Amino acid sequence: MRKERLAKRGIAAGVVVLLLSLLMGTQAYAYTLHYWKMDTSIWYRASYLFGDETREGFRSRMSAWNQYLPEWRRLCYDANVHYDSGYPSRDGRNQIYKEPMAASKTGAENKVWYDQIGSMLYVRESDINLNWNVSWTNGYDPSRVDTQTVMVHELGHTVGLHHSEHRWAVMFEETYAGYLNRDLTSDDINGVRNRYL
């Protein structure tokens, strides 16, 4: 596989425009820009296209974030698979897909729908897609992209984090084949703690 950079993305749909400029320059972390958060737990089901080991990996990356989330706002794993196609789909279910994406340099994407309550945006649904056109693996392979490295990043968008400028943070916006970065750094942890103070 070519050694090019792959983008990890979080995109939003909702009723207001995010005013990213409001807090710029006033916060220590790039991801403390105005963003959404969870006010309930989010349950995910993954596509049958992912193997058991890969789906267990997804569960473990949810646990990584859950250590820093309030008890009633957790990332939860539903062991049932889904057979759906048509990412993204606002159907009331939070699903992890593996579908082709037009932009070949997009490794994965998290589409988040939210409601605004007061000045805060609350997650109502999240669909994550790992681009079918990317060569995936669960672990280290110099020519493939690690599914857990990308999943921990996309789940960071679900809990409400934006991209970090810190190169080693899981919320950094680029990844590569043969690069394992599965564990939260202090930058990521500070970000999630800040969001759920």
Q: Which is nearer to Zn ion, 46 or 150 (CB)?
A: 150
Nearest approach in angstroms of CB 83 to Zn ion is 27
Asked if 191 interacts with Zn ion (CB under 5 A), we say: no
If DSSP codes are grouped into helix, strand and coil, which group holds residue 185? coil
Q: Which is nearer to Zn ion, 119 or 188 (CB)?
A: 188
- How many residues in the shown chain lie near Zn ion by CB under 5 A? 3
Q: Which is nearer to Zn ion, 9 or 124 (CB)?
A: 9
Find the part of the chain contacting Zn ion (CB under 5 A) among 5-13, 92-100, 130-138, 178-186. 5-13
Two tokens at 23?
């807090």
Nearest approach in angstroms of CB 5 to Zn ion is 13
Nearest approach in angstroms of CB 188 to Zn ion is 12
Subset of 6-25 contacting Zn ion (CB under 5 A): 8-10
Report d(CA 129, CA 101) in Å as an integer. Answer: 9
Nearest approach in angstroms of CB 72 to Zn ion is 25
Burial of 189 (0-12, 13-18, 19+ CB in 10 A): middle
Query: Which residues fall within 8 angstroms of residue 108, CB to CB, at 6 or more apart?
Result: 8, 9, 128, 129, 130, 131, 134, 150, 151, 153, 154
Q: Which is nearer to Zn ion, 10 or 88 (CB)?
A: 10
In sign, the C-alpha dihedral spanning 39, 92, 16, 62 is positive
Nearest approach in angstroms of CB 161 to Zn ion is 9
Query: Which secondary-structure segment (H or E) carries 37?
Result: strand 36-37
Q: Specify the length of the chain in residues.
A: 197
Nearest approach in angstroms of CB 59 to Zn ion is 20
Q: Which is nearer to Zn ion, 109 or 118 (CB)?
A: 109
Find the part of the chain contacting Zn ion (CB under 5 A) among 1-9, 38-46, 50-58, 63-71. 1-9
Residue 32 per-residue DSSP state: G
Q: Which is nearer to Zn ion, 9 or 61 (CB)?
A: 9
Residues forming the site for Zn ion (CB under 5 A): 8-10
